[in-house]
């Protein structure tokens, strides 16, 4: 495996890598007709990945694993082969949501199989355009590679039963990274019921970014999360969101801050809110 590198890369740094032709770029944008959007314009050389069908294994019933459960390891290995990613690849992934959508999820998934040389583009697609990184249209055909050797998810994940126990134990901290309005139960644009897991604290993922949409400096992020964690270690911390996607943005931020990566509750609110478990509203006392 390649040596671990900083998890965030600036557009200027990516431009240098592209000149050296030593990078695999992944376009992880989402939205209506996203494949058409990608085909119309993407960063030069970028290969498209679909959050709905490739970075998740949706089930008919989100009450069993949430809206974006992880794909089977065999499926992920096949995806990496299609993308031309091998264990020695340097991967840079971007989206158009400052890493808060599929970019951070793809970063987490690669790190979770032991791949260290993967970075998220700071500022995303628009920052790259502003920096003058060239774009192409049409499809990108990666070089053929052998299937990626994948054995297990190495980063910690937790299930709904572990979360249920954790919120009743003061030694643990459950962090909800959704917007404050969703956490308080004032609105819920996606899931069926508004509110939050009783006992969870709210640290919106947007607090990881400055006013221009770039990640805060590592020391600033470390200060925020060290305060929230108090004396807890990563094994005592669980991070979740609505469907296990934007939670990865906070895991990315904590890694950027030089902290150990906590557990990811993949099922997140999409699962919890559909299982007749207790639901809280309002701000946490």
Judge whether 66 lies within some domain. yes
Decide if pLDDT at 215 tops 70: yes
Cα 63 to Cα 199, 270, 271, distances in angstroms? 20, 7, 5
What pLDDT was estimated at residue 132? 96
- Predicted local distance difference test score (pLDDT) of residue 212: 93
Check whether residue 192 and residue 97 sit in a common domain: no
- Is 99 a member of any domain? yes
pLDDT of residue 58: 79
Task: Report the CATH number at residue 30.
Answer: 3.40.250.10
Region 215-220: mean pLDDT is 97
Query: Stretch 6-13: mean pLDDT, rounded?
Result: 96
**Proportion of the chain above pLDDT 70, given as a percent:** 98
Q: Which residues contact 60 (CB under 8 A, 6 or more apart)?
A: none
Residue 172 counted as domain residue: yes
The pLDDT value recorded for residue 38 is 96
Q: Given the DSSP bridges, would you call strands 42-43 and 135-136 parallel, antiparallel or unpaired?
A: antiparallel
Cα end-to-end distance, the chain, whole Å: 45
Answer with the one of 87, 107, 136 that is the final residue of a domain: 136
The reported pTM is 0.96
Looking at the fold, whether 176 and 242 belong to one and the same domain comes out as: yes
Question: Are residues 70 and 118 both part of a single domain?
Answer: yes
Q: How many domains does the chain have?
A: 2
Spatial distance between the Cα atoms of 280 and 275, rounded to a whole number of angstroms: 14
What SS3 class is residue 151?
coil
15: in domain: yes
Which of 136, 168, 203 is a domain's end point? Answer: 136
Of the residues 136, 165, 189, the one at which a domain ends: 136
Asked if residues 104 and 45 have their Cβ atoms less than 8 Å apart, the reply is no
Spatial contact of 248 and 107, defined as CB atoms under 8 Å apart: yes
pLDDT higher than threshold 90 for residue 21: no
92 strand-pairing partners? 25, 119
The partner residues of 120 in beta bridges, in order of sequence, read 8, 93
Question: Does residue 172 register a pLDDT over 80?
Answer: yes
| Residue 277 CB coordination number (10 Å) | 14
pLDDT at 3: 61
Rounded Cα–Cα distance for residues 228 and 205 (Å): 14
How sure is the predictor about 136, in pLDDT bands with cuts at 50, 70 and 90?
A: very high
pLDDT at residue 260 tops 80: yes
In a domain, residue 260? The reply is yes
* pLDDT value at residue 105: 97
Partners of 42 in the β-ladder:
136
Q: What is the pLDDT of residue 285?
A: 61
pLDDT value at 127 more than 50:
yes
For residues 30 and 121, state if they share a domain. Answer: yes
Distance CA 22, CA 165 (A): 45
In tens, the pLDDT along 75-125 reads 999 999 999 999 999 999 999 987 677 999 999 999 999 999 999 999 999
User: Which residues are CB-contacts of 32 (< 8 A; sequence separation ≥ 6)?
Assistant: none
* Residue at 49 is within a domain: yes
Catalytic residues: 241
284 pLDDT more than 80: no
Question: Is residue 132 domain-shared with residue 194, that is, in the same domain?
Answer: no
Q: Report pLDDT digits (tens) over 30-67.
A: 988 999 999 999 999 999 999 999 999 977 889 999 99
Residue 117: which domain range?
A: 8-136
- Which phi and psi angles does 80 have, rounded to 5°? -60, -35
Question: Does residue 169 have a pLDDT over 60?
Answer: yes
Are 168 and 257 within one domain?
A: yes
Contact at 8 Å (CB) between 96 and 127?
Answer: no
Same domain for 52 and 124, yes or no, is yes
Q: Are 8 and 107 in contact (CB under 8 A)?
A: no
| Residues whose CB is less than 8 angstroms from the CB of residue 99 and which lie 6 or more positions away in sequence, other chains included | 107, 120, 121, 122, 124, 215, 249, 252
What's the pLDDT score for residue 220? 98
Please answer whether residues 62 and 271 qualify as being in contact, where contact means their C-beta atoms are separated by less than 8 angstroms.
yes
In whole angstroms, give the CA distance from residue 18 to residue 174: 39
Token pair 């200027």 in the structure block, residue: 12
Q: What is the pLDDT of residue 1?
A: 44
Task: Looking at the structure, tell me whether residues 121 and 161 fall in a common domain.
Answer: no
Residues 56 and 118 in one domain: yes
Residues 181, 128 within the same domain: no
My answer on whether 181 and 103 are in the same domain is: no
Query: Are 132 and 246 found together in one domain?
Result: no
Report if residue 23 sits inside a domain: yes
Residue 167: inside a domain: yes
Q: Any idea what the Cα angle at residue 89 is, between residues 84 and 90, rounded to 5°?
A: 120
Instruction: Name which of 239, 241, 242, 268 is nearest 190 in CA terms.
Output: 242
């Amino acid at each position: 495996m390649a040596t671990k590198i900083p998890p965030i890369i600036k557009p200027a740094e990516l431009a240098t890598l592209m000149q050296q032709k030593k990078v695999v770029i992944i376009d992880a944008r989402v939205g209506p007709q996203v494949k058409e959007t990608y085909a119309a314009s993407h960063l030069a050389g970028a290969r498209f990945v679909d959050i709905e069908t490739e970075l998740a294994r949706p089930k008919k019933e989100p009450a069993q694993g949430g809206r974006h459960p992880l794909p089977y390891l065999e499926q992920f290995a096949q995806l990496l082969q299609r993308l031309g990613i091998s264990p020695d690849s340097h991967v840079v992934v971007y989206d158009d949501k400052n890493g808060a959508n599929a970019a951070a999820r793809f970063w987490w998934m690669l790190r979770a199989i032991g791949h260290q040389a993967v970075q998220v583009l700071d500022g995303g697609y628009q920052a790259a355009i502003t920096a003058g990184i060239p774009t192409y249209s049409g499809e990108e055909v990666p070089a053929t590679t052998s299937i990626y050797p994948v054995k297990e998810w190495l980063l910690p994940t937790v299930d709904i039963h572990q979360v249920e126990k954790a919120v009743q134990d003061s030694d643990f901290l459950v962090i909800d990274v959704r917007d404050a309005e969703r956490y308080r139960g004032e609105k819920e644009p996606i899931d069926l019921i508004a509110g939050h897991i009783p006992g969870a604290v709210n640290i919106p993922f947007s607090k990881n970014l400055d006013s221009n949409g770039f990640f805060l400096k590592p020391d600033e992020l470390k200060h925020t999360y060290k305060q929230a964690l108090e004396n807890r270690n990563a094994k005592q911390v669980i991070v979740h969101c609505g469907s296990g996607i934007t939670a990865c943005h906070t895991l990315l931020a904590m890694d950027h801050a030089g902290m150990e990566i906590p557990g990811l509750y993949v099922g997140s609110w999409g699962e919890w809110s559909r299982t007749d478990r207790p639901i809280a509203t309002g701000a946490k006392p």
